[in-house]
Structure 1
């Protein structure tokens, strides 16, 4: 019996310690937020993390975000308090300048339970931000500005900064793809000396301080050619009218004197002399004529002459009444 009491006395402190830990909620911890990351795009900062699984549906998990300057150690300032979202927009807090070096931390809270703080690496917006492409890029041609195109766009950074912005503008003929680069500091440019009725394409890349931005998508347009002035238009119409009249007159003369025109432009075909002689010698008509001629040559020519005298009955008839000659 005494042995059991001694065992109980030995276990009592341990039981009391375990009971105290369970009874004191401040000593219980929630899981710390994970994958805490600062997303910075065009100098707009947003802290994001993964949500914590809720153990008590009656008490939702909330989050608290704080920051400290690297130049002021152990001096944190509240940013987002008791939020249920898993992100905190840092850019809306004007006290944090874009050139400040800061460290952010976030923890989860649920009722009296809290998690450990999760810290981010040192962050400075001017060094760690990503610069996107220019905005509202447009390429247009105007009738009064011939053989040229106008490029217009907007700075992608909405936050004022002391950066010197440089824009690299590339343009090229769509059919060739050979790029020409122009570096400008303003947000508009006129491209001169282009070929009319040829499609050109343009893209723009931002250079801000030591950072290179993303290149914009290419857009294409076609410049217009120079319009005719009133005097040039009249001269062109007169020239066209003269050409129509001249063409009509030439057509009429060719129709009226078509025989002469045909004789002038028609060269009669003539066979060579040796071919003509061969055809004449071997033509059917010539052979038949030669054959009949040779047959006639076999007979003598005969001439018959008949003389008939009509006399009066009372007259004496001569002794010879007719004369025939046969040769």
Structure 2
């Protein structure tokens, strides 16, 4: 009798467990990787492994893309590989309760909340990005250098005018402008070299044509007196 009661109680317990509602996995934690997503989670509830176990399915898709399903997994850690780098992916995790004690009867559970994550770039993508940035900087600098060279050729006169030093004022005039009481004319006379107004002596000899032929040139030069005439005056 007691065995029968135990059996009936056991049967009621089993029927209730088979019809139990399986919720979504809890504590879903996602770590983005290089073209991958590492997913960790915990089971919806605890159950003896001798009666049943959980298997998991991951529903994932690229944002605004087609949904894919990966599984089943018996582990609480799943890695989604072969994903595109620097892309945003959304995912949901679903648990199935499998009764190993009763011919592997499966009871599907509910999906977890939608969560989206962006994958990181791998080494190849990093290298491509570095090359693209370097080429872009080189082209930009080349364009700037070409534009500067064109502007220099076009506005050469204006640039030369801008960078040309202004004419300087003589120091005497600058001092006079600072102090008009100074005798500027006397200062200019002192600075003027006395050799500027020097006169050179020129000897001019004038004789008739016949006498000029008979008299030696040296004698004419000795007998003639010096005549002073300013330099540059036409004889």
1:102 corresponds in structure 2 to 9
Inter-CA distance 219–160: structure 2 relative to 1 (3 Å threshold): same
How far residue 242 of structure 1 moved from its aligned partner, in angstroms, is 3.3
Does residue 1:219 correspond to 2:115, yes or no? yes
Which one has more relative contact order, counting CA pairs under 8 Å at least 6 apart? 2
Q: Which runs of 5+ in 2 are unaligned?
A: 99-104, 156-235
Match runs of 1:50-69 below 5 Å: none
2:62 to 147, 150, 173: 173
Does residue 1:122 correspond to 2:29, yes or no? no
RMSD over aligned Cα, in angstroms? 3.5
1:150 corresponds in structure 2 to 38
Inter-CA distance 147–247: structure 2 relative to 1 (3 Å threshold): same
Q: Which runs of 5+ in 1 are unaligned?
A: 1-67, 76-99, 104-120, 260-327
Tell me the TM-score normalised to structure 2 length. 0.50
SS of match in other structure, 1:212: strand
Tell me the TM-score normalised to structure 1 length. 0.37
Larger radius of gyration: 1
How far residue 239 of structure 1 moved from its aligned partner, in angstroms, is 4.1
Does residue 1:186 correspond to 2:75, yes or no? yes
1:279 corresponds in structure 2 to none
1:159 corresponds in structure 2 to 47
Contact 2:24-2:94 at 8 Å conserved across structures: yes
2:150 corresponds in structure 1 to 254
SS of match in other structure, 2:145: helix
Contact 2:85-2:125 at 8 Å conserved across structures: no
Contact 1:139-1:220 at 8 Å conserved across structures: no
Deviations 1:178-214 (A, max 9, x none): 2101112211111122233332111122222221222
Inter-CA distance 213–101: structure 2 relative to 1 (3 Å threshold): farther
Greater helix share, 1 or 2?
2
Task: Provide the aligned length of Structure 1 versus Structure 2.
Answer: 145
CA–CA distance in structure 1, aligned partners of residues 62 and 145 of structure 2: 46
How far residue 130 of structure 1 moved from its aligned partner, in angstroms, is 2.2
Contact 1:138-1:219 at 8 Å conserved across structures: no
SS of match in other structure, 1:248: helix
SS of match in other structure, 1:72: helix
2:4 corresponds in structure 1 to 72
Inter-CA distance 250–201: structure 2 relative to 1 (3 Å threshold): same
Contact 1:197-1:224 at 8 Å conserved across structures: yes
1:202 corresponds in structure 2 to 91
